[in-house]
Structure 1
Amino acid sequence: MKKLILCLLLPLSLTTAMAQDAQIIQKDFQTIIGYTRKLEIDKVLDMTYPPIFKIMPKAQMSAMAKGVLTSMGIKTVYEEVPIGLTLSPVTKTATGTICLGKYNQSMILESTNSALLDMMVKAKSGSNKVEKISANKVRMKGINYLLAIKDANTAGTWKYLRYDDEDSATNERILPKDIAAGAAKLKAGLK
């Protein structure tokens, strides 16, 4: 009888845990998007999946992110647009738990170097649409993906990783195979 009750309660407790995880992930996604809009790079990196720092140390990644656009004389402003956040189901894999989020992002890049902005409009920027909106401004907007991961690398907490097409080579190097396969399935389900 005890085994029967335990068997009945186990799925209920897993469902409750997954629902709580989904709430945490949704709140964290909002937080990361807010930090990104405010250009608080170090706070975003604190929430980032740790194995990425094996490719590039956190301090170097922070300095690069802060300096790339400003060193070219480009000012970045994230537009307040409805993020339209869609979350996949929270999914268990062999080595962890994952959830994929899909959201809208739009930013204005401003520079006095109109030739640089023209190059940006002509260059393909992943799945983002780039349009010139004035002589010294371009808008870059599109749909982005963020992967939530809880595994042995995250000390039991949720950490996040960009999961856009242009990030695939990096993600292949750092994600365990089961998590990569699970994330690919989740992304196919969100399109």
Structure 2
Amino acid sequence: MKNSIYLALLLSSFSFAQNRQDLEKNAQKMYDASYNMNFVEVLDLTYPKLFDIVPRDKMLEMLNKTFENETYKVRLVFITPKFIISEIKKIEDKTIDVITYTNAMRITFEQKLTQEKADEIVKAYKETGAYTVVNYEKDRNSFYIEGKSTLLAIADVSTDQQWKFVNYDKRRADMMTKIVGENILKALGL
């Protein structure tokens, strides 16, 4: 009996460590795909419930247009991410985790901005409360922006128990509720 309990605990801790290791590996894959603008891979790593709200092909189009259009280009600035991984939780039928890390981007405008317009943009980004650094780089006609990013990592039946991700943004709480549900967000303290 003692041996059975010990074996069960050993297997449970091994499974947890393996699950955490997979989580870290897949979070890094998501970060790398985003940095490299490999949006097909980003969408492959995205929690599929998002596509019930925005179809996958539309999401791909939106990502491409957001990162490069007639007005500006967005590029992620490589920062070796230090993922802060919360305790993995089982909530309802999902295994779920909250991951936070620092992310940075540079937005470069095609047309030269006036100082007044640049100041407006800096103010607007700072007012969101999502960014810790917002600097206008006049010589580049760009903005360097840095802040905390939050990913929800989810494994469930729809993902074949593989980790998939969705960006959490409290400013889009209604969409997050549709994706994961209000009870789960509350259980995670979000």
The interval holding the TM-score normalised by the smaller chain is 0.7 to 0.9
Give deviations 1:2-44, integer Å, cap 9, x for gaps: xx54333323222211110111111111111111111111110
Instruction: Report the Cα distance in structure 1 between the residues aligned to 2:160 and 2:119, rounded to whole angstroms.
Output: 45
Off by >4 Å, runs of 4+ in structure 1? 115-119
Residue in structure 1 matched with residue 162 of structure 2 by the alignment:
157
Q: Compare 170-179 and 23-32 and name the one that shifted more.
A: 170-179
AA in 2 matched with 1:143: K
2:142 pairs with 1:137:
yes
Instruction: Report the Cα distance in structure 1 between the residues aligned to 2:172 and 2:42, rounded to whole angstroms.
Output: 16
Instruction: Report the Cα distance in structure 2 between the residues aligned to 1:126 and 1:40, rounded to whole angstroms.
Output: 28
The TM-score normalised by the length of structure 1 is: 0.85
2:116 pairs with 1:91:
no
Mapped contact 2:130–2:148 kept (Cα < 8 A): yes
Deviation at 1:126, TM superposition (A): 4.8
Identity value in percent: 25
Give the SS at the match of 1:171.
Answer: helix
Residue in structure 2 matched with residue 146 of structure 1 by the alignment:
151
Gaps of 5+ in 1: none
- Aligned pair in 2 of structure 1 residues 76, 31: CA closer, same or farther (>3 Å)? same
Instruction: Report the Cα distance in structure 2 between the residues aligned to 1:9 and 1:176, rounded to whole angstroms.
Output: 36
Give the SS at the match of 2:20.
Answer: helix
Instruction: Report the Cα distance in structure 1 between the residues aligned to 2:61 and 2:128, rounded to whole angstroms.
Output: 22
AA in 2 matched with 1:181: K
- Aligned pair in 2 of structure 1 residues 17, 179: CA closer, same or farther (>3 Å)? farther
Give the SS at the match of 1:138.
Answer: strand
Q: CA RMSD in A?
A: 2.0
AA in 1 matched with 2:134: V
Instruction: Report the Cα distance in structure 1 between the residues aligned to 2:143 and 2:37, rounded to whole angstroms.
Output: 18
Mapped contact 1:35–1:43 kept (Cα < 8 A): yes
Equivalent in 25, 32, 46 of residue 44 of structure 2: 46
AA in 1 matched with 2:130: S
Instruction: Report the Cα distance in structure 1 between the residues aligned to 2:67 and 2:45, rounded to whole angstroms.
Output: 22
2:130 pairs with 1:127:
yes
Instruction: Report the Cα distance in structure 2 between the residues aligned to 1:17 and 1:102, rounded to whole angstroms.
Output: 23
> Following superposition of structure 1 onto structure 2, how do residues 113-124 of structure 1 map, counting pairs within 5 Å?
113=111, 114=113, 117-123=118-124, 124=127
Deviation at 1:86, TM superposition (A): 1.1
Deviation at 1:183, TM superposition (A): 2.8
Deviation at 1:69, TM superposition (A): 4.2
Equivalent in 100, 103, 106 of residue 105 of structure 1: 103
Mapped contact 1:91–1:97 kept (Cα < 8 A): yes
Residue in structure 1 matched with residue 184 of structure 2 by the alignment:
179
Instruction: Report the Cα distance in structure 2 between the residues aligned to 1:19 and 1:69, rounded to whole angstroms.
Output: 36
Instruction: Report the Cα distance in structure 2 between the residues aligned to 1:118 and 1:69, rounded to whole angstroms.
Output: 22
Give the SS at the match of 2:188.
Answer: helix
Give deviations 1:30-77, integer Å, cap 9, x for gaps: 111111111111110111011110101000010011013422421222
Instruction: Report the Cα distance in structure 2 between the residues aligned to 1:178 and 1:19, rounded to whole angstroms.
Output: 26
